[in-house]
Amino acid sequence: MNARTLGVDSHAHVFGPTYPYDPNRLYEPKPTQAGTARQFAAVLDAHGLTHGLLVQAQPYGRDNRCMLDAMREGKGRFRGIALLDPAISDRDLAALSDAGVVGLRINLMTYKLHELTEPGADRLFARLRELKWFLQVHYEKDELVEAAPLLRKTGLTVMLDHFGRPELERGLDQPGFRTTLEFGRHDGAVIKLSGPFRSSVEGLPYRDVDPFIAAAINAFTLDRCVWGSDWPYVHIDERIDYGPGFACLDRWLPDPADRRKVLWETPSRLFGFK
């Protein structure tokens, strides 16, 4: 077992057997994929990490109870990114913030621009600006291009999932990835160096993603890069293990000081870990 040092896994999901899935869920994790908060904590311990940023799992829809209970049980070990109904009350929104939720996630892959334009969205974004929340965006290919003006209009700090999930064979200059890098150079956005297995064509050890990761680090700088595992690897058919994805950091950031920045200094500052 690794000695624990200060470090954050900035992208993971949790599931629990007593929480009902949303009737309109897009997928349901296989029993072997639905990891609990307790299991995730054990995985972090085994890899020497101390904290985690939990992302609300889509099968639960906008019912954040599983994630919130995990955060409560973690006693400060976890922060959260929620899914929200724009009509949420100010009281309930404040309660989420007090519990350690630091952002809202939207999914361009599934809902296109709907979550940015649905009734009540502008008012919700205004309230999130007051709370200084992040707007975390899940997308792939060129989906960010059309959404970019609407994301900037929210006035929120944007956080981009999985380094934009580019199509590697289209190269660094494809419109979607070019727009991703523009958010780093000009908009003060945050990017997650996470989920290489979701973009890699070659597979382990995911070396074909390296030029894209290097471009992201250059555009966003280490002050706005965080790492995440995407544990427990749902909605995917191949076997994925924690170790190989974590080991990518040694290749991407050979300087231990740079790895510490991405694993601890930057996420602790952004998400409020202590």
* pTM (2 d.p.): 0.96
Lookup: tokens for 70: 């995990």
The Cα–Cα gap between 134 and 91 comes to: 19
Residue 114, C-beta contacts closer than 8 angstroms, at least 6 positions apart: none
pLDDT tens digits, 30-86: 888 899 999 999 999 999 999 999 999 999 999 999 999 999 999 999 999 999 999
Residue 121 scores a pLDDT above 80: yes
Is 2 within the bounds of a domain? no
pLDDT tens digits, 167-207: 999 999 999 999 999 999 999 999 999 999 999 999 999 99
Phi, psi (degrees; rounded to nearest 5) at 229: -90, -30
User: How far, CA to CA in Å, does 39 sit from each of 32, 33, 80, 237, 263?
Assistant: 12, 11, 17, 21, 20
Residues 103, 135 contacting (CB under 8 angstroms) = yes
- Confidence category of residue 1, pLDDT binned at 50, 70, 90: very low
Give the domain extent around 117. 8-271
Is 3 within the bounds of a domain? no
Radius of gyration of the chain (CA): 17
Closest CA to 84 of 76, 93, 71: 93
The pLDDT assigned to 120 comes to 97
Is 31 within the bounds of a domain? yes
Residue 249 scores a pLDDT above 80: yes
User: How far, CA to CA in Å, does 185 sit from each of 140, 177, 181, 225?
Assistant: 19, 13, 6, 12
Residues 12, 54 contacting (CB under 8 angstroms) = yes
Is 1 within the bounds of a domain? no
CATH number at residue 13: 3.20.20.140
Domain count, the chain: 1
